[in-house]
Amino acid sequence: MIYINVLVALIFILPATLSLSYFFRVFRSINVTGSFFTVILAVVVLLFRIHSSGLFLIDYLNRPLILASASVFFLSSVFGIGYHHRLGESRNMRLHYAMMDLFASAIIFSLEINNLGLLWIGIELTTASSSLLLVIERGKLQIEAAWRYTIIVSAGLSIALVSVIILFFAYGTLTISTMIADARVSEFGEIAAVAAVVGFGTKVGIFPFGTWLPDAHSQAPSEISAMFSGILLPVALYALYRIYQITGGSSVMSLYLIFGLLTVLVAAILIPSQRDYKRMFAYSSMENMGIAFIGLITGGIAVYGAILLLFSHAFGKAGAFYSSGNVLEACGTKEINRVGDLRDSMPTTAATLTLSGLCVTGTPPFGTFVGEFLIIIGMVSAGLYLEVVFLTIAIVISFASVNYFTTAMAFGIEKTRIVKDVSASQKSVALVSVAVALLSSLIYFLGVM
Amino acid sequence: MIAVEIEGILSVLMIISALSVQMRIFINPMLDSVIVQSFILAAIAVFVGVYEASYMLIFLAVLIVLLRGFLISFLLKKKMPADPSTLREDYITTATVIVSSIFVFIISLFIYRVLLFPLIGHPLGSIGLSLIAQGILLIVTRKNSFAHVIGYIEEENGIVLLSLLVVPLPLLIEISALLDVFGIVLVSVILVREDITHDIFEELIG
């Protein structure tokens, strides 16, 4: 048991230790090497199906999410080298990497810890550590987005703490595994579930609480947008699901279903009107989180669908944001209408952008497709026919609009003037990310998950 | 019985301080009011700690005084312009603030009475809940960065009060939450230097 605890603890301790690279000139190499070892440790936990319910809670639910978090952290560390190369070895750049390390550590800690209070603290820490990551370019818009993110999310998470207090009052413990084993439907649970969906829902991007999400995603540097979308939102969703496991009854399920469906529908309605491709991908993240949320609360096979969707989406959306970063760097604009014909000028980026667009909208053979398919099967089995109709409409709208925009950017007739070359490492990171998303359904079919 | 009355008096003082925070148009006295509120919160923690013979709660009170009473106020005051009288909210009138604040206060008391009181049974928990609502109201109705941070501190004070009066969380959680909030305020203070008020940006709509 002690070895398992050490192994699991190392996955979040290692990134935290990497923040000390601030004091070294070779901070980039230290970060890339260290984050790679984090991935190795996460792979071991997944492949050997490590299970724990002591100090840490490791099970089928969070093993794939830990691997996705470690992997996106590693990919973002590599991407940042090329993307911020003009900042050199400045203090600003070192601080950026140090905060990124603490951010990744807080995310993985939140996924692993078997205590609801500490889980809340871990998620609050992700806010404290990631706010400054948005302002590396120090623009007025970035500062405004960082401010909105910090205030809205922190105020929302405080409501989540009320939910933790209520559950502690009801159960007399904060150990998640004990609370799940003692799960029961009660009025306490219902009130706690409402507070949790407002609190953690703010961080997940659940409508109407997640107003910070498109602003922060569009203004953050691309490797940070990738971490936000790919791994931060799923961690908050994970916390919300743990509370659902403790409190879930039919009334909580109905309430959560309404919030999930509203989120998916609103995101699908807003995507076609977007002019900024990073905002478009941000709304797509809201949509995917909504679908995963619905899958988790539906139960049965839909839970596995939701986990697979979250895993595949992490890589697909990271690939989309890395590709967006490459387009932004090369073309100097975030406007969809001003980017076109990337096929000729940036063939690799055109390919990664198109593929990641297909991935995040649930196109076969990506894992997102298999995930969404399993969620819909689960919903049909649970008799949620009307909800399936609404969900399918939303999925079709966002599929059509996201892919229309990405295809127009990649193959459209508008000639874009390339103002700057993108480094090979940035293109490779986007390519690797999309490739993993493509292969992610294998995780389910090989029975690793 | 006396203990309950003392708790009640201190809790009502918390609400008075919350209304005082709401009514301020200038930021400097608003900050002073929330500092006073943090000191009252610490006094409640000391009282509950002595009454229940819990040294941990007294330690928590010391931390509240150090972090919220001194350190956070010091950091915020340091970031304010040289002439604090220039920092005022022009977007909202005092009458509107008083009416909306009292309205939110009554609504939060009603919610507590209907939903939580039958389960928890502690009447003073309602003060914690209304303090949380007052903090959120401050964040929502003001455009000034300092007012947002003060609103957030007030909201957190409400949560600590709720926890203290209803069911004290394990000290590790309380202290970690306190430090976490300090981290958020620290980050906010760094950001507040760059921009004081928050307007509408076309790029952040849609």
Residue ranges of the domains in chain B?
2-82+91-199
Domain region containing A332: 263-449
| Residue A334: DSSP 8-state | -
Cβ atoms of A318 and A223 within 8 Å: the answer is no
Helix (H) / strand (E) element for A296: namely helix A277-298
Q: What is the pLDDT of residues A101-153, one digit of tens each?
A: 999 999 999 999 999 999 999 999 999 899 989 887 777 888 888 988 999 99
* CB within 8 Å: A120 and B167: no
Q: Which of A128, A301, A291, A148 is nearest to A212 (CA)?
A: A148
* Structural domain count, chain A: 1
A404 Cβ contact list (under 8 Å, min separation 6): none
Which positions 118-147 of B are in contact with A (Cβ < 8 Å)? 118-120, 129, 132, 135-136, 139, 145
B62 touches A: beta carbon within 8 Å: no
A251 touches B: beta carbon within 8 Å: no
- Complex confidence, ipTM: 0.89
Q: What is the pLDDT of residues B95-132, one digit of tens each?
A: 888 888 999 999 999 998 888 888 888 888 899 999 99
CB neighbours of residue A245 within 10 Å: 17
Evaluate whether residue A17 is within a structural domain.
Answer: no
Q: What is the pLDDT of residues A182-225, one digit of tens each?
A: 888 788 889 999 999 999 999 999 999 888 999 999 899 999 99
Cβ atoms of A247 and A190 within 8 Å: the answer is yes
User: How far is Cα A226 from Cα A317, in angstroms, rounded to an integer?
Assistant: 6
pLDDT of residue B177: 79
User: Of the segments A27-41, A184-198, B71-85, which one has the largest average pLDDT value?
Assistant: A27-41
3-state SS, residue A175: strand
Evaluate whether residue A343 is within a structural domain.
Answer: yes
Comparing CB atoms, the residue among A117, A138, A150 nearest residue B184 is A150
Comparing CB atoms, the residue among B119, B166, B203 nearest residue A165 is B166
Comparing CB atoms, the residue among A140, A215, A276 nearest residue B195 is A140
CB neighbours of residue B5 within 10 Å: 9
Residue reference for tokens 């399936």 = A388
pLDDT of residue B1: 66
Q: How far is CA A54 from the centre of its chain?
A: 26
Q: What is the pLDDT of residues A413-441, one digit of tens each?
A: 777 777 777 889 999 999 999 999 998 88
Helix (H) / strand (E) element for A58: namely strand A57-58
Evaluate whether residue A112 is within a structural domain.
Answer: no
B149 contacts in A (CB within 8 Å)? 151
B137 contacts in A (CB within 8 Å)? none
User: How far is Cα A413 from Cα A417, in angstroms, rounded to an integer?
Assistant: 13
A162 touches B: beta carbon within 8 Å: yes
* CB within 8 Å: A174 and B173: yes
**Would you say residue A58 has pLDDT above 60?**
yes
